[in-house]
Amino acid sequence: MRLIVATFLLVFQVAQAQQLPNFSVLAEKNEPAVVNISTTRKYAETRRLVPRNFGLPDEFDKGPMGELFRHFFDEQGSGTWPTPESHSLGSGFIISSDGYIVTNHHVITEADEIIVRLNDRSELEAKLIGSDPRSDIALLKIDSTGLPVVTLGDSSRLKVGEWVLAIGSPFGFDHTVTAGIVSAIQRSLPSDSYVPFIQTDVAINPGNSGGPLINLDGEVVGVNSQIVSGSGGYMGLSFAIPIDLAMDVVNQLKSSGRVTRGWLGVLIQEVTRELAESFKMDKPKGALVSKVLPGSPADKGGIETGDIILEFESHAIEWHNDLPPLVGKFGVGKSAQVKVLRNGRLKTLKIKIGELPADEIVADADKVAPTDKSRMGLVVGELSPQSAERLGIKEGVEVEQIKSGPAAAAGMRRGDVITSVNQQPVSSVDDFIKKIDAMLPGGSVAFLVQRASGPIYIAVRLSKNEP
C-alpha cells in the first residue's frame, strides 16, 4: 500500500513538473539579443574652488601637504576641482541585425555618451535615433551588422495569468533571467496616460529597464519599464510597455525622429458611484468631462463640460483611463465617432482628432486634484472679482467655510468656486441655495468646482435626515 501511495505521489509530482514551462530554452534563444546599456553625463565645466589671485598663506605652503595645497590653491587662483560624471545603467534588445536597439527613454535621457555592451562583452558607442518621454521608449543605433535579434510578438493577444520572462541587467548583473505571470493588462498609471501597461509579478529591479518581456513562444511582448515600490526595489508589481505600442513609437522615430498622437482636448475624471447616481446612471462607467479646452477638437466637435464619454470609435470606455490611449493612437486629422451621455440622453458626435501639443495640459482631472469619496455643511459667498479673474470664470459661488459634514467628507475645500450643481450653472448665492433646497435628502449632487489647479467634479451625498 505504501509503495502504491509513493508511486502515485511521484507520478503526480512528475506530472506537475511537466506542466511548468521550461524557461531555459527561451533564455538561451533570447539572451544573445539582449544588451546592457550604460550612459555618461558630463557636467558643463569644472568648478573653481577659489577666486582668481587668491594668495596661499605661508603656513599652508610648507610641510608634507604643501604640494597638495599648491595644486588646488595656487597663487594664480587657477586651481579647479574635477567634476564627476554620472552613470546610469539599463537594458535593451536588438530588433534588427544592422544594429537598431530598443530601450527606455529614462535610461538614456540627458546622456552625453551611450555605451552598449553586447552578449560577447564587446562594447560599442550608440547613436540616439530618437526618444519619446510620454511612452518611455527610445531607439538607438550601433554600427554593426549580423547581430542576433529578438522575435517580436503581438501584445494584444496577451492574457492575464500567462507566463512571461524578463531578461535584463538588474544592479549591473548582465543577462539575469526572472519569470512570472501577467497580473493585469491595459493598466493605467498616474504618470502615464497614454500607455496601457502590462502588469506582471516578474521580479524587476533597477537595471532591468528597457529589457524585453517574453512570452512562452519566445516572442517579445513588452518593454520592461517601471515598478511600484515603497522601498526602491521590487515588491511584486512591475510594468511593461506593450510591444505593439513600442514598435509604433519606434517606427515613427525611425522615419521622422518624432512621435505624433491624437488629441481630443478635454480634462477628464473618474465617474464614481456618487457621481453616477447624480447623473442618473445605472452604474459608474465612462470618462466625465470636467473641462473642454477652448479651440480644441472637442470644443469644435461639440463636446461639453459635464458630458460622460461612453464610447470612442465603438470602443467602450469603462474606466476614464481607457480613453487617452485610444485617442493617442488614433490618426491625427481623422474623424472619430464619440458617444456621450448628456443630461440623461445619449448623443453621438463626430470629432476631427487633432495632434497632441508638446505642452499639453494634463488631460486627467484626477491628477490635478484627487478627492475623497463620500456622503453639506459649507458656507458660500458671492464670487469675488479677484477669484473670477484668477480662475478665468464669470459666475459661481465661493466656498468660505467648511463644516463637518458631507461636503467636507467628499473633499470640498475652502476657496473652491462652485460653478454648477447637477450640470445647472450657479449665478449667485441665492441661486445656489434654491438649487440645493430642491435636492432630495440622501441623494447625490454633482458640483463642478473650479480650483487653481483646474476644474473637477465632486459628488456630495446629502444626509438623509436633512429637511
Average the pLDDT over 190-209 and give the result.
88
Query: What does the pLDDT read at residue 248?
Result: 94
The per-residue pLDDT for range 418-443, each reduced to its tens digit, is 988 888 888 888 788 778 777 766 67
Residues forming beta bridges with residue 342, ordered by sequence position:
345
Query: What does the pLDDT read at residue 431?
Result: 83
Query: What does the pLDDT read at residue 55?
Result: 47
Percentage of the chain modeled with pLDDT above 90? 48
Query: How far apart are the C-alpha atoms of 388 and 455, rounded to whole Å?
Result: 13
Domains and CATH numbers, the chain: 47-81 (no CATH), 151-256 (2.40.10.10), 262-366 (2.30.42.10), 369-461 (2.30.42.10)
Catalytic, out of 88, 91, 193, 209: 209
In the block, which residue shows the cell 574652488? 49
- CA nearest 176: which of 219, 211, 215, 216? 211
Give catalytic status of residue 209 as yes or no.
Answer: yes
Average the pLDDT over 59-76 and give the result.
47
Query: What does the pLDDT read at residue 432?
Result: 84
pTM for the full model?
0.68
Query: What does the pLDDT read at residue 441?
Result: 65
The per-residue pLDDT for range 132-191, each reduced to its tens digit, is 999 999 999 999 999 999 999 999 999 999 999 999 999 889 999 999 999 999 888 866
Phi and psi for 154 in degrees, rounded to 5?
-120, 100
Exposed (0-12), middle (13-18) or buried (19+): which is 53, by Cβ within 10 Å?
exposed
Query: Can you say whether the dihedral through the CA atoms of 296, 300, 303, 309 is positive or negative?
Result: negative
Q: What's the whole-number average pLDDT of the chain?
A: 82
Catalytic, out of 106, 144, 229, 248: 106
Burial 64-92 (b: 16+ CB within 10 A, else e): eeeeebeeebeeebebeeeeeeeebbbbb
The per-residue pLDDT for range 72-103, each reduced to its tens digit, is 444 444 444 455 565 768 999 999 999 999 99
CB neighbours (10 Å) of residue 55? 11
Residues 6+ apart with CB under 8 A from 296: 263, 264, 265, 266, 354
The per-residue pLDDT for range 33-51, each reduced to its tens digit, is 999 999 987 654 444 444 4
Residue 309 contacts residue 323 (beta carbons within 8 Å): yes
- CA nearest 120: which of 152, 87, 91, 148? 148
Query: What does the pLDDT read at residue 274?
Result: 87
Query: What does the pLDDT read at residue 79?
Result: 47
Catalytic, out of 132, 136, 244, 364: 136
- CA nearest 289: which of 364, 238, 182, 215? 364
Angle at 139 between CA 133 and CA 145, to 5 degrees: 170
Residue 371 contacts residue 410 (beta carbons within 8 Å): yes
- Of 43-47, 409-413, 414-418, which one has max mean pLDDT? 414-418
Residue 398 contacts residue 383 (beta carbons within 8 Å): yes
